[in-house]
């Protein structure tokens, strides 16, 4: 995974239901979180396909929040994006590299790349933690 991802497309490792825009892709969830907005799955699925695709493609600085509000998104303090600590060892597993290389990746990662890494490491973290205890 590249460290300079922009939230303007679906990621290849997302479920097919997100890539087909049936579910909210990570790019849209990231931009909603960054703007402190919440859009329910029901609201998302009621949008015409082209409106969903436009929300995926639109950059945050291109009035994403305005368009999301038009789509029904509401302000939510719970959704405000919080940068979390990412376990370097788990990131190394996801990236299939050394911990040193993973740390360098994390130090240069865009906000969206870090967001995707948080999601991915949460999937491998339980497996990695169990292996560490053995």
Residue 133 has pLDDT above 50, yes or no: no
Per-residue model confidence as pLDDT tens digits over 76-95:
877 666 677 899 999 999 99
Q: What is the pLDDT of residue 66?
A: 93
Q: Say how many C-beta atoms besides its own lie within 10 A of residue 4's C-beta.
A: 9
What pLDDT, on a 0 to 100 scale, did the predictor assign at position 62? 81
What region, left, alpha or beta, does residue 82 occupy, with left being phi > 0 and alpha being psi -120 to 50 degrees?
beta
CA distances from 92 to 22, 51, 67, 84, 113 (A): 31, 36, 36, 17, 14
- Rounded distance between C-alpha atoms, residue 73 and residue 75, angstroms: 7
pLDDT band (50, 70, 90) for residue 126: low
For residue 57, give the nearest of 28, 83, 29 by alpha carbon: 28
> What pLDDT sits at residue 127?
57
Q: Cβ(124)–Cβ(93) under 8 Å?
A: yes
**pTM as predicted:** 0.84
Which residue in 32, 78, 79, 81 sits closest to 55, CA to CA? 32
Tell whether the model's pLDDT for residue 46 goes beyond 90: yes
């Amino acid at each position: 995974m590249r460290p300079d991802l922009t939230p303007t497309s679906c990621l290849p490792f997302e479920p097919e239901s997100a890539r087909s825009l049936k579910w909210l892709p990570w790019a849209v969830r990231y931009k909603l979180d960054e703007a402190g907005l919440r859009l329910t799955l029901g609201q998302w699925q009621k949008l015409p396909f082209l409106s969903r695709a436009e929300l995926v493609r639109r950059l945050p600085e291109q009035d994403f929040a305005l368009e999301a509000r038009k789509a029904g998104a509401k302000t939510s303090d719970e959704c405000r994006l919080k940068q979390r600590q990412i376990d370097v060892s788990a990131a190394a597993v996801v990236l299939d590299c050394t911990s040193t290389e993973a740390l360098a990746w994390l130090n240069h990662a865009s906000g969206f790349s870090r967001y995707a890494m948080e999601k991915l490491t949460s999937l491998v973290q339980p497996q990695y933690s169990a292996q560490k205890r053995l």
